[in-house]
Amino acid sequence: MLSQEDIIVTKTDLRGHLTYTNDVFLKISAVAEEQALGSPHNFIRHPDMPAGIYKLLWDSISTRQELFAYVKNLALDGAHYWVLAHATPSYDKHGKHVGYHSMRRSASRGAIAQIEPVYAQMRAAETGLTGRARADASFACLRALLAERDLTYSQWIWRIVEDH
């Protein structure tokens, strides 16, 4: 179980393969360091996560922007856990983009209660689709839901964070 004090830290290369994990990540994901390092970070992707969230994540960090997102992950032992993730590009001492860095904290029950219905609608928009079409439909659904609320994605996330 991820406690309020725990911080998950990972680093990846430009392709999303893990180059560093802290002990909290290894413990909560039920994975050995030898298994994790070099693996695609998405090996912990939970099937309940809409593809549109990952489209938003990659669109943001690949253009050198940070992103905060609520994410449901799947541990190798079958358990799942929710986090508020902060993903950002990493640079070497010369300013060259070399990978990505992510820090995650546990998500509150109240935040999860606000996120789950939106993610369910996004997943419904993905029905019958695969690949890029699936991600695009899911992301379009998110944009429409946010437009109805007259919010940007960042405004929506920060309202949830501030409420909980």
Q: What is the pLDDT of residue 56?
A: 97
DSSP 56-84: HHHHHHTTT--EEEEEEEE-TTS-EEEEE
- pLDDT over threshold 80, residue 125: yes
Q: Report the CATH number at residue 12.
A: 3.30.450.20
**pTM score:** 0.95
Q: What is the pLDDT of residue 1?
A: 77
Residue 21 in any domain: the answer is yes
* 46-72 per-position pLDDT tens digit: 999 999 999 999 999 989 999 999 999
- pLDDT over threshold 80, residue 157: yes
Count of domains forming the chain: 1
* 1-26 per-position pLDDT tens digit: 789 999 999 999 999 999 999 999 99
Residue 3 in any domain: the answer is no
> Which range marks the domain in which residue 111 is found?
8-163
Residue 68 in any domain: the answer is yes
Residue 145 in any domain: the answer is yes
Residue 22 in any domain: the answer is yes
Q: What is the pLDDT of residue 40?
A: 97
Residue 1 in any domain: the answer is no
For residues 143 and 156, the answer to whether their CB atoms sit within 8 Å is no
